[in-house]
Amino acid sequence: MKLNHFTDFSMRVLMYLNQKEDDQRSSLDELTATFKISRNHLIKVVQFLAKNELVETKRGKNGGIVIAMKAQVILIGNLIHLLEQDETPVVNCDAKPCIFKSHNCKLKSVFTDAYSAFISSLNQYKLSDLEFTNWSSIF
């Protein structure tokens, strides 16, 4: 299973924000510098995370980005599924005309089962399970 860049960037941001103190906010500039990711990409990531109540954002002098409680309790598999934004992430028989569609093809069901197992396996974890012991050595 290959995750898209959006999911990768979102997970990095959430893991980073999760290790900060409750009142410690981050800025887009800080995230851009920390991860060496385009500011435009991070704006889209943060907007999506805020819309889905995984981060809280505040504009102005004392503003910034902070992790929301929902992100701290959501199971990783459910989070990945939300971030991937695709109900048929592996095989979509309708994306292109498929010559096997009318011949009882089992490919989609096999991959759907595998994707479900992937998500179920990830649902054994939360963001707190992904913490590093020494963040300062990373950044």
> Is the torsion defined by CA of 92, 98, 103, 107 positive or negative?
negative
pLDDT, residue 14, reads: 96
Q: How far is residue 50's CA from residue 32's CA, in Å, rounded to a whole number?
A: 17
Amino acid at 15: M
- Nearest alpha carbon to residue 31 among 59, 75, 66: 66
* pTM of the predicted model over 0.75: yes
Q: Please report, in tens digits, the pLDDT of each residue of the chain (139 residues total).
A: 678 899 999 999 999 999 988 778 999 999 999 999 999 999 999 999 999 999 999 988 888 999 999 999 999 999 999 999 877 667 777 777 777 766 778 888 888 899 899 999 999 999 999 887 776 667 6
| SS3 category, 2 | coil
Q: How far is residue 38's CA from residue 70's CA, in Å, rounded to a whole number?
A: 26
pLDDT, residue 76, reads: 97
Phi, psi of 13 (to 5 degrees): -60, -45
- The answer to whether the beta carbons of residues 9 and 37 sit under 8 Å apart is yes
